[in-house]
Amino acid sequence: MSETHIPVLRNEVLDFLKPNPEGIYVDATIGLGGHGFWILKKSHPTGRLIGVDVDASALVIAEKRLHVFEKRIRLIHGNFAQLRHLLEEHQINKVDGVLLDLGVSSLQLDTPDRGFSFQHLGPLDMRMDGRISISAAQIINKSNPDKLVKIFKEYGEEHYAKQIVRHIVAKRSEKPITSTLQLAKIVKDAYPIKTKRSKAFTQNGQKREIHPATRVFQALRIEVNAELNNLDIGLDMAVSVLKPGGCVCVISFHSLEDRIVKQRFRHLAKTCICPPKTPICICEHQQMLQIVTNRPIFPSASEIEGNPRARSAKLRAAIKI
Ligand SMILES: C[S@@+](CC[C@H](N)C(=O)[O-])C[C@H]1O[C@@H](n2cnc3c(N)ncnc32)[C@H](O)[C@@H]1O
């Protein structure tokens, strides 16, 4: 990563986490170490950071970037859905802040061999964690049509899911679909003539044109890596390892992720979950969080200008009660 790399919503994340020298922080998606670097810098000289990532190759880069912080940084290869267990293995119980910066890293997107991008020729892989057994190619070639339609509709919100799946099924019966560009072309060809470019809304409601394969690739990536399920569990894990007063920050990149974060935060911030009109509270639900971003935080126009990938980002934060 270049020294000029500025992680998404960096200042906003630091404002919420307030890294200090007495603190222990978890960057549960350490990636290339962008946010991690700043958390360590701001908690100088004794603050500690645990960096977690499912992608072993990201950890190699994070290690190169963060080794200057010596014993203050520890990197763990693992899934944030197992965060509590991962920390216990390293004799850490409670921490002062947790960051989840969801989605793919620029390393994953820009390495054609990983198969995440419909713009580069590569194998149809998309596994963030090399230990996962099922790749995107296996899903595309082996799943029954109904399952593919469901994946593209649910995880990609793809309007033309049925048409696309019909094309996929026809093409895969001729020969297996094994490359990113092969799939991107099949999806593009399946789109109605007038709609060769698709439209999407960014998280702050702006309309932009996207390649027709964008949603199918997003859907496949989510399916391969069980991203939404991991997020659901990962949020509970993050809250469970926080000390009272500790902060959890989540940066999401599409509405499916953001909905999960919003709903989980709201649930954990409720004092009572009894049905309305119940005369006295019987639920024994415990409020765990106080939400500190009533509305999500978006990157500024100047951040988006410098880093177009930031345009879809949304930050939500909450404090452990
Ligand atoms: C957007 S990048 C993080 C970038 C990082 N904040 C930086 O500034 O360099 C997201 C990272 O999260 C990782 N990741 C995705 N799902 C994960 C999970 N369930 N557990 C741990 N890491 C995950 C990906 O492998 C990727 O490296």
Q: Give the SS3 label for residue 260.
A: helix
51 lines ligand 1 (CB under 6 A): no
Q: Which residues pair with 320 in a beta bridge?
A: 289
Per-residue pLDDT in tens (0 to 9) along the chain, 321 residues: 444 568 999 999 999 999 999 999 999 999 999 999 999 999 999 999 999 999 999 999 999 999 999 999 999 999 999 999 999 999 999 999 999 999 999 999 999 999 999 999 999 999 999 999 999 999 999 999 999 999 999 999 999 999 999 999 999 999 999 999 999 999 999 998 766 556 666 556 666 678 899 999 999 999 999 999 999 999 999 999 999 999 999 999 999 999 999 999 999 999 999 998 889 999 989 999 999 999 999 999 999 999 998 999 999 999 999
Q: Which amino acid residue places its CA nearest to atom 7 of ligand 1? A: 34
Distance from Cα 77 to the centre of ligand 1, integer Å: 11
CATH topology of domain 133-224: DNA polymerase; domain 1 (1.10.150)
Q: Which amino acid residue places its CA nearest to atom 18 of ligand 1? A: 79
Closest ligand 1 atom to Cα of 32: 9
Predicted pLDDT at 2: 44
Q: Which amino acid residue places its CA nearest to atom 14 of ligand 1? A: 29
Largest Cα–Cα distance in the chain?
65
Q: Give the SS3 label for residue 252.
A: strand
Global confidence as pTM: 0.94
Q: Which amino acid residue places its CA nearest to atom 12 of ligand 1? A: 29
238 lines ligand 1 (CB under 6 A): no
Domain assignments of the chain as residue spans, ordered by start: 10-106+227-320, 133-224
Distance from Cα 162 to the centre of ligand 1, integer Å: 31
> What angle do the packed helices 34-42 and 10-17 form, to 10 degrees?
40
Q: How far apart are CA 137 and CA 228, in angstroms?
A: 20
58 lines ligand 1 (CB under 6 A): yes
54 lines ligand 1 (CB under 6 A): yes
Q: Sign of dihedral through CA atoms 33, 35, 38, 44?
A: negative
Instruction: Among 9, 25, 41, 53, name the best residue to mutate to test ligand 1's pocket (greatest count of ligand atoms within 8 A of Cβ).
Output: 53
- H helices of 118-200, in order, are 136-142, 145-156, 161-174, 180-190
29 lines ligand 1 (CB under 6 A): yes
Predicted pLDDT at 203: 58
Q: Give the SS3 label for residue 229.
A: helix
Contacts of 148 (CB under 8 A, 6+ apart): 139, 140, 161, 165, 168
- Does 10-106+227-320 match 133-224 in CATH topology? no
Predicted pLDDT at 1: 44
Q: 314-320 and 73-77 as β-strands: parallel, antiparallel, unpaired?
A: unpaired
CATH numeric code, 10-106+227-320: 3.40.50.150
> pLDDT tens across 213-265, in order?
999 999 999 999 999 999 999 999 999 999 999 999 999 999 999 999 999 99
Distance from Cα 211 to the centre of ligand 1, integer Å: 24
> pLDDT tens across 178-224, in order?
999 999 999 999 998 766 556 666 556 666 678 899 999 999 999 99
Residue 285: what are its φ and ψ, rounded to 5°?
-70, 135
Q: How far apart are CA 288 and CA 275, in angstroms?
A: 19
Predicted pLDDT at 209: 76
